[in-house]
Amino acid sequence: MIITLNWATLLLVIVTSTGLLLSRDWRWGLGLLAVQYLSIFWMVQAHWSIPMAAAKLVTGWMACAVLGIAQLRASKDGETEITWPHGRLFHVFAAGMVLAVTFALSLRVVNWLSLSLPVAWGGLLLIGLGLLHLGITSESFRVILGLLTVMTGFEILYAAVESSSLVAALLVVVNLGLAMAGAYFLNITQEKTS
């Protein structure tokens, strides 16, 4: 049962992280990120206690909320973000490449970190797609989404080797800090007038 759920979670990670890469509307982006945090909760709880894993989920959703509110304030007309290159086909192809590379890597990481394959692949996939996201955009909101994705991928892998409460707390602060930085960037043009 748990194995099946792990694979289902991996599927969710693939869908959400690829969707994040393809989506051009910020609402979709944040929705996918919020769902992504749900899968991260499941992957982290394999190594951490449920309350600590839940803290990650709540933090992720808080980050989504912060970014969502900032976006609402910044772009009332519902403008969309543009990334480079624009072609969705390119994004799908690049995501496929990352999927393949991270699968190959995860076979080694499984032994190295004593993780199950879907968890290791999920973590590496998030790091890979997050980096891809960072590589193809210079728009601050998308950069923050990319950084949050990289950090969550790392947190999945790191949870297997470190269970310190202080690290968990500091990572929470870093994640929220990234979201607040994103919110600040989105509303910075209004700072002077206010």
Using CB under 8 A, list all residues that contact other proteins: 127, 134, 138, 140, 143, 146-147, 150-151, 154, 157-158, 161-162, 164-167, 169-171, 173-174, 177-178, 180-181, 184-185, 188-189, 191-193
Check if the beta carbon of residue 18 is closer than 8 Å to that of residue 93: no
CB of 132 to other proteins, least distance (A): 13
**According to DSSP H, which parts of the chain are helical?**
2-22, 26-44, 50-74, 88-113, 117-136, 140-159, 165-187
Nearest to other proteins of 117, 131 (CB atom): 131
CB of 73 to other proteins, least distance (A): 15
Check if the beta carbon of residue 79 is closer than 8 Å to that of residue 189: no
The 8-class DSSP code of residue 48 comes to S
CB of 147 to other proteins, least distance (A): 5
Nearest to other proteins of 30, 157 (CB atom): 157
Nearest to other proteins of 15, 74 (CB atom): 74
Instruction: Report phi then psi at 23, rounded to 5.
Output: -65, 145
CB of 148 to other proteins, least distance (A): 10
Amino acid at residue number 168:
A
Nearest to other proteins of 77, 191 (CB atom): 191
